[in-house]
Homo-oligomer: A and B are copies of this chain.
Amino acid sequence: MVPKVVFGKGAFNQICDIISPERNGVAPFIFLVDDVFKNNTSFIEDRIPLSYTDEIIYVSTVEEPKTSQVDEIVAKIRNDYQYVPSGIIGIGGGSILDLSKAVAIMLTNPGSAADYQGWDLVKNKAVFHVGVPTISGTGAEVSRTTVLTGPERKLGINSDFTPFDQVILDPELIKDVPKDQWFYTGMDCYIHCIESLDGTYLNAFSQSYGEKALDLCKEIFLENNLSKEEVDAKLMMASWHGGMSIAYSQVGVAHAMSYGLAYVLGTKHGIGNCIVFDKLEKYYPEGVAVFKKMKEYHNINLPTGVCANVTEEQLDIMTKVALSLEPLWENALGCDWKSKINEDILKELYRSL
């Protein structure tokens, strides 16, 4: 789990005080920042206290984060600097946070990020890394995984060394997220709560976090008695609790299918989950009904015909990727999940998207 967190409007202004004690001689701090902030320097860049050879690297998040992208950033840092950085500070949404965790790990571990996709494969402690979410819902700020698309699969680097050493939760940083993205990412939280709470892996630890995140999601997305400022703060906490919930349980059908979609079509995680979840009445009847209400309440139109032009070969890969995520299916459907889902059922579901 994340050992240190600060919370509050304006908390980002503490960044200098927070990282300074971790500065190791002239070894730089590297800030990985979502490139949406490139043209709005006053929001992030001007507030980052660069010293010595500290550097801001803007990273595109048009595509889902890849192991190759992690390897490139690590190679660049190794090439540019004599010393292992004092720390990596990720500032952005789930993609940037996952990339930052992976880069921090790969700076102290040999090989490619793809070598560590799986559970507990990381040998060496990562460099000090800080997460600063600017979009909320994924739970990436608190999770012990980093979801990456590799040459063979989309799977996280799950390890005790993955979680951030420090997280800064500043609700002000998420105030300008565009409406659609706000909704899709918020729904990532909502959906993984439904999957976790409905799953066979559930325990009282995950349940308590999942229930709180779900309560907050309902308050945020179905009630209109909150100020924008309250909504931002509560969504930040929903994301946090939702991430904690799945740390000790699992997600389910929507996430498994969304991973297949992302692997073949590059569909971004938030919107991918929404597209899939919308068609999962059979698996999560109540959860999907509430989701449709939220969608309507916020006037969200999901893309349709997503798999209309997908080839049979692509459909095979999608299905294979989704079915390979065995813990997700076992959590969703129980030990005998193989008797309940198969390639044909899954292909039909994909075709319906």
A248 touches which of B1, B7, B204, B238 (Cβ 8 Å): B7
**B residues in contact with A234, CB < 8 Å:** 204, 208
What are the interface flags for A121-146 relative to B under an 8 Å C-beta threshold, 1 for contact and 0 otherwise?
00000000000000000000000000
Q: Count this chain's copies in the assembly.
A: 2
- Residue among B4, B160, B215, B238 making CB contact with A4, cutoff 8 Å: B160
Residue of B nearest to A211 (CB): B212
Q: Which of B3, B160, B171, B238 contacts A2 (CB 8 A)?
A: B3
What size tier do the contact residues of chain A reach? 20 to 34
A204's contact among B1, B204, B233, by CB below 8 Å, is which? Answer: B233
Main secondary structure of the interface of A (DSSP, over half): helix
Cβ-closest chain B residue relative to A8: B203
**In the bound complex, do residue A171 and residue B236 qualify as a contact, i.e. CB atoms below 8 Å apart?**
no
> What residues of B have a CB within 8 angstroms of the CB of A5 in the complex?
1, 205
A206: nearest chain-B partner, CB-CB: B7
In the complex the two chains form, what is the Cα distance from A219 to B294 in whole Å? 28
Is the CB–CB distance between A203 and B1 below 8 Å?
Answer: no
Neighbouring B residues of A238 by C-beta, 8 Å: 208
Complex interface: chain B residues within 8 A of A268 (CB): none
The winner among A205, A209, A234, A248 for most chain B CB atoms within 10 A is A205
For A233, give its contact among B3, B203, B240 (CB under 8 Å).
B203
Residues of A within 8 A of B (CB): 1-5, 7-8, 160, 163, 169, 171, 203-205, 207-209, 211-212, 215-216, 230, 233-234, 236-238, 240-241, 248
A–B Cβ pairs within 8 angstroms, 18 of them = A1-B2, A1-B5, A2-B3, A3-B3, A7-B203, A7-B205, A8-B203, A169-B205, A204-B230, A204-B236, A204-B237, A205-B237, A208-B234, A208-B237, A208-B240, A208-B241, A209-B212, A212-B212
